[in-house]
Structure 1
Amino acid sequence: MRRVLASFFFASLSAGAMAQSSATTLAMTCRQARQIVASQGAVVLRTGPTTYDRYVRDSSFCGRSLTADPAWVRTADTAQCPVGGICRSIEIDNGQ
């Protein structure tokens, strides 16, 4: 159990560090932002001074029961740049 908690703790620290050192979309062109996501497959991008998210090339970079929903970010040259997707839960319509 301690090993699992330690792994979770260090993964959380790593994610925080990635967010702090990640690229800022406001300082790049739309083409640059799209290229980063396309080449990395999954990347954390800062979208403002205190905001960030993980963007993916496609659903293969999401976990089980997740899908990539289209995502747009503000860049230096575009108000809404389609960079790829954000992993979201797959919603199942049960007909109700």
Structure 2
Amino acid sequence: MTCADAMALVKRQGAILLDTGNQTFQRFVRDRSFCEITEIADLRFVPTRDNPECPIGYRCREPDYGDWDWQ
């Protein structure tokens, strides 16, 4: 799959599960609206046929201490 195809798939579906090998999967989303209310969305890159670092979409995760701006 090309980078453009992978990005379009995430955009169209909103959220996908992608086989990352060794019987593991990762969920990628179009935007934060597909995350739980307590989660943040981090941009993720995956290798595709034409791009070793394709910005496929976002991955939801719980924030940690370093994510907060304590100014």
Per the shorter chain, which TM-score range?
A: 0.7 to 0.9
Structure with the largest fraction of strand: 2
Name the SS for the 2:50 alignment partner: coil
Per-residue CA distance 1:62-86 (angstroms, 9 max, x = gap): 0121011000000011100001100
Query: Structure 1 residues 63, 78: CA separation in 2 closer, same or farther (over 3 Å shift)?
Result: same
Counterpart of 2:53 (choices 48, 71, 80) is 80
* Structure 1 residues 48 and 67, CA gap change in structure 2 (3 angstroms): same
Partners in 2 of 1:30 and 1:94 — Cα distance? Answer: 33
Structure possessing the higher relative contact order (Cα contacts under 8 Å, 6 or more residues apart): 2
Higher Rg: 1
Could you tell me which runs of 5 or more consecutive residues in structure 1 were left unpaired when the two chains were aligned: 1-27
- CA–CA distance in structure 1, aligned partners of residues 13 and 69 of structure 2: 35
Question: Residues 36-70 of structure 1: CA distance to partner in whole angstroms, max 9, x if unpaired?
Answer: 10001111012335342000001000012101100
Cα 1:94–1:72 change in 2 (3 A) is closer
TM-score, with normalisation over the residues of structure 2? 0.83
Could you state the TM-score of these two structures normalised by the residue count of structure 1? 0.63
How many residues align? The count is 68
Percent identity of the aligned residues? 43
Q: Tell me which protein shows more helix as a share of its residues.
A: 1
